[in-house]
């Protein structure tokens, strides 16, 4: 199954380091980050899971729940979590799905035969509160993910869902944003963007980030 942006994220029930989890129940009305790992006790994944744990406050501020996946079993996960907490000086505070039968990995297309017949690639999916897939990123197994970039994307998605704007290249919280080209009514523009805007070109209009002090 090949998932695309805008698809409804498939639901599943699977064992995890925190017991049996039904994905939709776990998410509730939150945004979600589901990210896969090639196997337990792998060095890059150990750093990723540790860093994700350290970002818990940042995820909570944004209404985001993180959940990881690896193809090993629950007992292996629990031993690995001990190592993660020790080596990364943190406490893993989210579940790791035990996908030994690879059913979730197959459902989400996390196994790429050209890379490995059995191990998941380093993929990450962001879902919104409506369970729609809003981002899919796949890294090679040798490259750790940039979780600061994941936070940036969540910020962009949440901002652009609530305002008729898009975020330009390298945008960070507080930077100018782009008024979407479909918004043409000047009265509505004045109402939505009381700080005004700068028209670099008729199709490229920059305005201060809404709701930003």
pLDDT reported for residue 177? 97
Contact by Cβ (8 Å): 121, 140 = yes
Angle, alpha carbons 28-34-40 (nearest 5°): 130
pLDDT reported for residue 212? 54
pLDDT reported for residue 65? 98
Catalytic residues: 45
Residue 110 CB coordination number (10 Å) = 26
Contact by Cβ (8 Å): 121, 36 = yes
pLDDT reported for residue 6? 96
Angle, alpha carbons 163-130-103 (nearest 5°): 135
Question: CB within 8 A of 119, min separation 6: which ones?
Answer: 38, 39, 71, 111, 141
Q: Which alpha helices (H) appear in the chain, and where do they start and end?
A: 23-27, 43-54, 56-61, 74-88, 103-107, 147-162, 186-192
Distance (Å, rounded) from C-alpha 58 to C-alpha 52?
10
113 torsion bin: left (phi>0), alpha (psi -120 to 50), beta (else): alpha
pLDDT reported for residue 121? 64
Contact by Cβ (8 Å): 145, 137 = yes
* Maximum separation of any 2 CA atoms in the chain, in Å: 61
Supply the pTM of this predicted model. 0.90
User: Which of the residues in the chain have pLDDT under 50?
Assistant: 115, 117-118, 213
Residue 172 CB coordination number (10 Å) = 11
Nearest alpha carbon to residue 81 among 102, 97, 63, 58: 97
Share of the chain above pLDDT 70, in %: 94
Q: What is the mean pLDDT of the chain?
A: 92
């Amino acid at each position: 199954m090949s998932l695309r942006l805008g698809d409804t994220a498939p639901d599943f029930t699977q064992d995890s380091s925190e017991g049996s989890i039904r994905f939709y129940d776990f998410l509730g009305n939150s945004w979600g980050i589901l990210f896969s790992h090639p196997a337990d006790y792998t060095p890059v994944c150990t750093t990723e899971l540790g860093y994700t744990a350290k970002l818990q406050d940042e995820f909570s501020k944004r209404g985001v729940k993180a959940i990881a996946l690896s193809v090993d079993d629950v007992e292996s996960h629990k031993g690995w979590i001990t190592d993660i907490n020790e080596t990364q000086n943190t406490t893993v505070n989210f579940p790791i799905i035990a996908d030994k039968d690879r059913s979730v990995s197959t459902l989400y297309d996390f196994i790429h035969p050209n890379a490995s017949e059995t191990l998941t690639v380093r993929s990450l999916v962001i879902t919104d509160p409506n369970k729609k897939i809003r981002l899919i990123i796949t890294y090679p197994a040798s490259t750790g993910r940039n979780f600061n970039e994941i936070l940036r994307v969540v910020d962009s998605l949440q901002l652009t869902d609530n305002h008729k704007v898009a975020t330009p290249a390298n945008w960070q919280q507080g930077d100018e944003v782009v008024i979407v080209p479909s918004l043409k009514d000047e009265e509505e523009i004045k109402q939505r963007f009381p700080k005004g805007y700068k028209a670099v070109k008729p199709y490229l209009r920059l305005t201060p980030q809404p709701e930003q002090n």
